[in-house]
Each structure stands twice: as structure tokens, then as C-alpha cells.
Amino acid sequence: MQRKHTSMKMADLVTARLATSADCEITTAVAEQAMLTVRDERGGRWHLDHDADGVSAHERHTGAVRDIRQHLVVGCIDGSVVGYGLAHLSATTDGQLCMIDELIVHPQAQAIGVGSEILAEVRRWATVNQCEALESQVLPGNRAAKNFFERVGMKTRKMRVSADLI
């Protein structure tokens, strides 16, 4: 008897799904690890020290699981959570848009489609909620994130500039 050989590709193992409260411990750990590296990126210190709202990652994530105007998605490889995306609905003058606040994939799980799957799930949610657009922010020193967003069809619309005075 001849055995059929089925080869599984990495893309077959990469999925994204709505997060549950049980996922928040993992998403918090991924967020906290990312914050350690962000500080040293161009714009990172400013983002962490001035743009942050002072709410812990765990509070943000557990709050998003309970809030229908927010969407927490986890990206998985073979069922194991390796990244997440956090988005919220934001009112505009004539509708609403979907603002992606965080999209983070563990460094060892990058460049294999996890971020794209997370973004696709966020995009589905935004479409169901009749959003006119998706938006996010990227630090100026994070070329990989900028390239990712451009690769999936997003464009730079504005840049925020600042100068330290002290």
C-alpha cells in the first residue's frame, strides 16, 4: 500500500481569531517584550513617555475583550498565540474608521504571515462595522512595520513631527 504524502506549509498553520480573556496573559507578555525594544527606536521614547495613556497592556487587552467598540485579535502558529492586534472604532465627521492601536508579532514569528492574518481579521471586523478606512501609526524608525503596512495596501497620510526642548 502506498502512503500519500501531504506536505503542510507554514501558511497552513498560521491563523488569526478573536481573542478571549484567557489570551490576555500571552498578549500582555508580547506587548511588554515589544515595549523593551521600542524605547530604543527612533521616536520610541517619546511614544512610551508621552503618547501612552498610562494604562497597562493587561488592562487594555482585558478591556478590549469586553468592549464591543474594540477588537482584540490573536495570531497563532499551529494554535499557539504568537502575536496580536488591538483596534477600536473611531468616529469621523460622517461615519467611523478602524484605528489599529497595536499590531505586534513575536520577533521569531515575523515574516511568515501572522501579521497579515491578524490584519485580515481586523479588516473583516472593520468592514462588518461599516468603517470607511483602517488607520494605524508606525514609529519613524520602524522600517519593517512601515513596509508591512505598505505591502498590505496601506499608505502614509500624515506624519507627526516634534522637537525636544529640554
DSSP structure class, residue 52: -
Chain segment 28-45, per-residue pLDDT in tens? 999 999 888 876 777 666
| Domain assignment of residue 46, yes or no | yes
Is 94 inside any structural domain?
yes
Note whether 42 and 91 are within 8 A (CB): no
Strands (E), the chain: 14-18, 70-77, 80-92, 95-105, 134-136
Judge whether residue 158 has pLDDT over 80. no
What is residue 72's predicted lDDT score, i.e. its pLDDT? Answer: 98
Give the pLDDT band (50/70/90) at residue 47: low
59 assigned to some structural domain: yes
Q: Is residue 98 part of a domain?
A: yes
Domain holding 131: CATH number?
A: 3.40.630.30
Number of domains in the chain: 1
Query: Which amino acid is residue 31, in one-letter code?
Result: A
**CB 34, CB 44: distance < 8 Å:** no
Distance CA 150, CA 134 (A): 12
Whole-prediction pTM: 0.85
- The pLDDT of 63-77, averaged and rounded, is 97
On whether residue 43 sits in a domain, the answer given is yes
Instruction: Report the alpha-carbon distance of residue 46 to residue 88 in Å, rounded.
Output: 22
Query: Residue 108's pLDDT is what?
Result: 93
With respect to residue 1, please indicate whether it lies within any of the assigned structural domains.
no
Mean pLDDT of the chain: 88
Residue 55 sits at the vertex; the CA angle it makes with 156 and 16, to the nearest 5 degrees, is 55
Residue 140, all three cell numbers: 519613524
Residue 45: inside a domain, yes or no? yes
Q: Is 64 contained in some domain?
A: yes
Structural domain of residue 57, as residue ranges?
Answer: 13-151
Q: Give the confidence band of 76 by pLDDT, cuts at 50, 70, 90.
A: very high
